[in-house]
Chain A
């Protein structure tokens, strides 16, 4: 059987190219340090890689020794062992173990960089490191790292090419500078202005490997950011108490790479008693860190596809997977997950800064037509018998609910009527005085102060819907946050902590509905401007990009004619240009020829009148009546017509005589 082998790669002799490879690695490592808060291994890796490059360059012409290869292979296995140990036991802190492995891999293999292919391998691993940093990068400063790495790659290509043609590292600075700057600017423009295709997510993004810190005992109570309970410093509570409200600042909590807007749902509550929401069902099931679609409920009947979200935690958070629901699949770098009775996933420990998890969710179809067409089920299956329990609502509030929805005929219109009433007649505020002692918080909100924050609105609507026999419950978590269309990510801050209502629609499941004033009743499922060009287009209100295309489109099949003509013209122009510049055999110039002709050109410029095309050199000389032109004209004539060119020294003599005059 024929042995398959790659063609032999040539030894990379260019020191500059190797320096570029090392610099590319350095750029990627600095990006990891900056965005991944990983310090020890990157520093060790850079030092080792520098030493390795020096050794590799000095020994590039020597044969590989068997025991050296064995040693390097052993080191690579050692690095692999380190990654596994760090991932599973967090022996070394568990910070970006896969990035650390890539760094160590580059550092080890840098001792054996002989061929150009080896250098390419090192660069591609550096790109993988840069990719890991890119996952964590949430600001525009990352452009500098991307540009730096690309410049290193370009430098490697340039240095290796010049070495291949046995040329020194020299280049026309300005044109090359224009070329590189142009490429960066055009690339940046393409990045900003051209829609970023979002393919079907294959699976959740695996950023970190799972560790073995497992659950200890029962599921711990999750801390809620919305409500701070006195007496519990950690804020850990399985309840939402409407009597209290925490102070929420602007500090970022997490950032989310997402293809669609959504509420990042955390805990769900279904039992309301005396101003406090709790969960009735405390059952759960334990799963692996990767939850595939087959372990999760089937997709909603009417969904618009899926989208992937990658969450990066920026400050300590309760061990709750905030994500868009319903979930298709998810991955979190923990030993195990627990899914509570409401579909929310929990982690064994608090989420720590730097931790990343990824979720693929369905995009629900929340159009009014679809929701309005939902047929009510005969019996709503409620195993806890609480999601229709509106008993806590006062008769006055029940009467208000009936009054508001009196004219509605279906569930959707009922929900929207109640929602519109709350959004239109009540005011949102965070400066709410404490609920008077003994007063029911909902009645106090509905009939006394008529102002409140999201919990008041959501609680009131939930209970009023229940009083109308519509299943509803309270959901908490975060709103989408500040969305950046260029980076396709949302920064979620403390003040984005939110509570809303989940209403059961037959055929749709639990649909988020938000009664808080100032936000859409039904959450949007697509960004208004999914890509940055949308933002740019907003700045140009008079520019209607779609109008010309619509006009062309109205022509039907004939609409293909204008673009076809444009393409044909471009092709003809391109062919004409290429033919004009077709390769013509050059003749070998004689010594002195180019020097003399350049001097002749210079003299013509100096005399402020160039020789006309039909004018012979002799006629030009007679017309100019310039004594020193005689010798030059004679030399030009002799060269052009007799192919006897003067020696370069003689041309220089003529030039000196001309300049001295």
Chain B
């Protein structure tokens, strides 16, 4: 807790009043001077009391999808399993809730300042009620990747700003902005579509596929009682059939630019989405999942994270800016950017504009 210039100013004013009172014999000046000194002392006590029990709380409060955001196309059942309160895709706006948690009775003023995604952000209040105070800041269009809260500090002071306390807050990731994607089914030749529709569905295999609502005729042994209790309705386990389709995606581990990396992530996400919505499974680097959100989170961190780790498997789809990474055995090779490639190679060239 440190005094501010204002406290020194108040004490200087009191000193002037003392001096003037002593030389002019006007006693009321002493009253004003003593009250100012007492005010400085009282604010010091207040500021010491005010600094205790405050902590910072950052979260995404709401999102505002941009035109063409995948949110518009995703079914509700998929969205429900997504991050709360709603997934944020690149280009979407979002509201950041900057909250100050107060473990004690009402206090204030307090304010928080820090960098969010490289942008200076702050929020403050004169009154922090018991529990929590929060303010939502609109953050505008987001870029793909982790949005970090860096260098945040909680400030508290007395109401007159004579004394100020600052406490640093450890850095954290507040939000993961996911890559945009769009079904590429209309760009895939019909023979591949036929193969996709022939992909296996949920059946009675051994690997857990998921859960769904109970239908008459389902075996009672398949009821998932814990989930049924949570939902308030009967649900049963589904097991995936043997021989299910798996799409292995290889992404360029060293994209030349952020724009190219964004495009690679978008194409990979789109390929993954086309696979998963048809009941398939995606292998992306070290990750193997049938959950689109896990894949998107992995691609949101691309080129960092586990999306570029070698899976040691044959690739179904290659998305790269480097033609040397093409896999002749792959079902599709995507080349992002203007890098020349051999003419005999089977690939599709795209730029960095989205949608394709």
Contact = CB atoms under 8 A, between A and B. Distances in A.
B101 A589 contact: yes
A310 interface: yes
B25 A258 contact: yes
A199 B23 contact: yes
A183 interface: yes
A217 interface: no
B25 A308 contact: yes
Given A196-B27, A199-B19, A310-B25, A588 B172 contact: yes
Contact of A200 (B23, B42, B59): B23
B32 A205 contact: no
A150 B109 contact: no
Nearest to B19: A199
Contact of A171 (B42, B109, B161): B109
Interface in A116-150: 127, 130-131, 134-135, 137, 142-143, 146-147, 149-150
Contacts of B128: 172
B184 interface: no
Nearest to B46: A179
A259 to B, nearest CB: 6
A588 B124 CA distance: 17
A172 B23 contact: no
B258 interface: no
A188 B32 contact: no
Interface stretch (B49-57, B65-73, B189-197, B272-280): B49-57
Contacts of A171: 108-109, 126-127, 159
A89 to B, nearest CB: 27
A166 to B, nearest CB: 6
B168 interface: yes
Given A587-B172, A598-B131, A191 B106 contact: no
B22 interface: yes
Contacts of A553: none
Interface string B14-50: 0000111111111111111011111101110110011
Given A146-B28, A594-B57, A187 B37 contact: yes
B234 interface: no
A72 B114 CA distance: 43
A206 to B, nearest CB: 10
B122 A166 contact: yes
B27 A486 contact: yes
Nearest to B35: A187
Contact of A176 (B124, B152, B155, B159): B159
Contacts of A581: 51-52
Contacts of A201: 23-25
B160 A165 contact: no
B24 A308 contact: yes
A594 B149 contact: no
Contacts of A143: 31
B39 A150 contact: yes
Interface stretch (A154-162, A436-444, A607-615): A154-162
Contacts of A587: 55, 169-170, 172
A647 B160 contact: no
Nearest to B20: A131
Interface string B83-107: 0100000000000000001010111
A62 interface: no
A135 B56 CA distance: 51
Contact of A586 (B49, B158, B167): B167
A363 to B, nearest CB: 14
Contacts of A309: 25
A162 B109 contact: yes
A586 B55 contact: yes
A586 B101 CA distance: 11
A434 interface: no
Interface in B123-147: 123-128, 131-132
Given A161-B159, A175-B49, A594-B132, A489 B122 contact: no
B157 interface: yes
B22 A197 contact: yes
Interface string A287-311: 0000000000000000000001110
B168 A585 contact: yes
B19 to A, nearest CB: 7
Nearest to B49: A175
A137 B20 CA distance: 16
Given A172-B106, A588-B57, A190 B125 contact: no
A183 B25 contact: no
B25 A257 contact: yes
A196 B20 CA distance: 12
Contacts of B19: 199
A196 B159 contact: no
Contacts of B57: 588-589, 591, 594
**Residue among B19, B55, B109 having the largest count of chain A Cβ atoms under 10 Å:** B109
Contacts of A633: none
B49 A147 contact: no
A170 B127 contact: yes
B111 interface: yes
B161 A179 contact: no
B154 interface: yes
Contact of A161 (B38, B152, B157): B157
B58 interface: yes
A158 B22 contact: no
A488 B46 contact: no
**Residue among B19, B157, B158 having the largest count of chain A Cβ atoms under 10 Å:** B158
A425 interface: no
Contacts of B49: 175
A586 B46 contact: no
Contact of A198 (B22, B155, B159): B22
B32 A585 contact: no
A194 interface: yes
A179 B132 contact: no
Given A182-B45, A581-B51, A586-B168, 13 more contacts: A127-B32, A131-B28, A142-B28, A150-B36, A157-B159, A164-B161, A165-B125, A168-B126, A184-B35, A199-B19, A201-B23, A309-B25, A588-B57
List 8 A-B pairs, minimum CB-CB distance, nearest first.
Answer: A187-B35, A165-B124, A199-B22, A134-B28, A190-B34, A186-B38, A187-B38, A161-B161
16 contacts: A131-B28, A146-B28, A150-B36, A157-B161, A164-B161, A170-B108, A171-B108, A179-B46, A184-B35, A187-B34, A190-B34, A200-B23, A583-B165, A586-B55, A588-B56, A588-B170
Interface of A: 127, 130-131, 134-135, 137, 142-143, 146-147, 149-150, 154, 157-158, 161-162, 164-172, 174-176, 179-180, 182-188, 190-191, 194, 196-202, 205, 257-259, 308-310, 486-489, 581, 583-589, 591, 594, 598, 647
Interface of B: 6, 18-32, 34-39, 41-43, 45-46, 49-52, 55-59, 84, 101, 103, 105-109, 111, 122-128, 131-132, 149, 152, 154-155, 157-162, 165-170, 172, 174
